[in-house]
Amino acid sequence: MTFLWIIGITNAINLLDGLDGLAAGVSSIVILTISTLAIIQGDLFVTALGVILLGSTVGFLVHNFNPAKIFMGDTGALFLGFMISVISLLGFKNVTVFSLLIPVIILAVPISDTFFAIIRRLVNKKKISDADKSHLHHRLMQIGFSHKETVLVIYTMSAFFGLAAVMLTMSTLWMSVIIIAIVLIVIEWIVERIGLVSATYRPMINFFNKVTTKSVKRTG
């Protein structure tokens, strides 16, 4: 599982590197969240690694944000993904309740983008390795967001999931269940709203529309 996690996150960050400042910004938010949790847990080693890595990514982001003057490239993105995968494992190895879900929630943006890219290609009967223009940032731009707006929207998504992960570590059992349910609903809503799988895949939105329509008819 450790090997698959490292390989998966390494490649997920690389796949996210499709717009100026996107991978660096999301990675900075992820690292900040991991470092914050490491401070709360008193893990000095992970905190030190996180602060060093955060300083590097933020310093790079200043010159990589649109319009970019320097670029990360595959080597930089793969290295960044590898480091994030490692510190996320180190940071939560001693957490007992929902220990597996915390790093997954923190990294929900790159994980979801990669996961649904695989689903999308399987549904369309394409090779998993085939590139397409339907990743999260592509879809946001296709529905009308500008380059900078798309990046900022994805930053906001990443910050939301980071905050949810921090809250999860300090919550009771039932509150943790509620937080996880909210996270899953938000992910599904985003996927359906922007057509990350396909334009016709909208089961949750269609369900809520039917419920709302029935409620309006009854009250009317």
Annotated binding site for Mg(2+): which residue ranges?
14, 74
Q: List the one residue out of 164, 76, 166, 158 whose CA is nearest residue 111.
A: 158
Q: How far, in whole angstroms, is CA 146 from its chain's centroid?
A: 20
Tell me which residue has tokens 């649109």.
Answer: 66
Q: Is the link from the previous residue into 67 a cis peptide, with omega within 30 of 0?
A: yes
Q: Is 135 exposed, middle or buried (0-12, 13-18, 19+ CB in 10 A)?
A: buried
Residues 38/52, Cβ–Cβ less than 8 Å? no
Comparing CA positions, the residue from 47, 26, 57, 56 lying closest to residue 91 is 47
